[in-house]
Amino acid sequence: MIDASPLPAFTLSPIGVIESDYPDKFGIPRQPGLAPAARASLVLAAPFDDPLAVRGLEAFSHLWLTFVFHESPARWTPLVRPPRLGGNAKVGVFASRSTHRPNRLGLSLVELIEVDTRCGVRLTLAGADLVSGTPVLDIKPYLPWAESRPEARAGFAPQAPARLPVAFSDAAQAALAERPDGDSLRELITQVLAQDPRPAYRKGAEARLYGVRLRDVDVRFRALSAGEGTRMEVVAIVAA
């Protein structure tokens, strides 16, 4: 039997950093691919920015990124409260995707849009769930024949979260109309808010105003409940 105490420590060096539509971690979808309109770039750092290191990568449509939850506290607990369980029920940290992990490591499946090697290496990504500044430790191509298991059990998260309808006030629509990226920003806002980014413990608060930063704006929104259920309303879009 292997003596597991103490185990040796390892030092890991980031290979690059993320630039994304998410300046802050609040509002980021809790899983990759839930907001496909989200764009990000992975900019590789020296000495990993050698174009030879990504030769052949463009042949793959999706990538696994191993990264660090650098904005989470460097501490962990054996029990966590997953948002999918309402923020009250507890499960073991290793039975969750909580950011509060022993080594703060994350794994994200993203779509690869472009490999740019004209000046170092920049990978354009879609559907990323990563805040700007995220350190990336490794890249691996996704192999659907090896890593897609439709029959797998998904525990307390058996399916994607329900999407709420999203409406825009006249002021918000006017703000979007003035932007060259208004259409794509509207799509991103809709995809993010449809998943109800409010903290689980606050979801009973009616008409409370929230703000989520996306790209260079602060999106102010609230949740309204009616007979047909909850809907999200974008009240204003202002410069961040």
In a 3-state reduction of DSSP, which class is residue 32?
coil
Same domain for 31 and 92, yes or no, is yes
**Structural domain contains residue 219:** yes
- Residue 102: which domain range? 16-147
Report residue 197 as tokens: 């980014």
Report residue 150 as tokens: 């439709």
What is the total count of domains within the chain? 2
**Structural domain contains residue 222:** yes
**Structural domain contains residue 5:** no
pLDDT tens for each residue of 33-67: 999 999 999 999 999 999 999 999 999 999 999 99
**CB of 99 within 8 A of CB of 163?**
no
The pLDDT value recorded for residue 37 is 96
User: One-letter amino acid identity for 76?
Assistant: W
pLDDT at residue 206 tops 70: no
Report residue 144 as tokens: 């659907």
Handedness of CA 46, 107, 11, 146 (dihedral sign): negative
- CATH code assigned at 222: 3.30.2310
- As a whole number of angstroms, the distance between CA 172 and CA 193 comes to 14
The residue-averaged pLDDT of 158-181 equals 94
Same domain for 81 and 32, yes or no, is yes
Q: What is the pTM of this model?
A: 0.90
Same domain for 37 and 132, yes or no, is yes
- CATH code assigned at 72: 2.40.30.70
Same domain for 97 and 185, yes or no, is no
Percent of the chain beyond pLDDT 90? 78
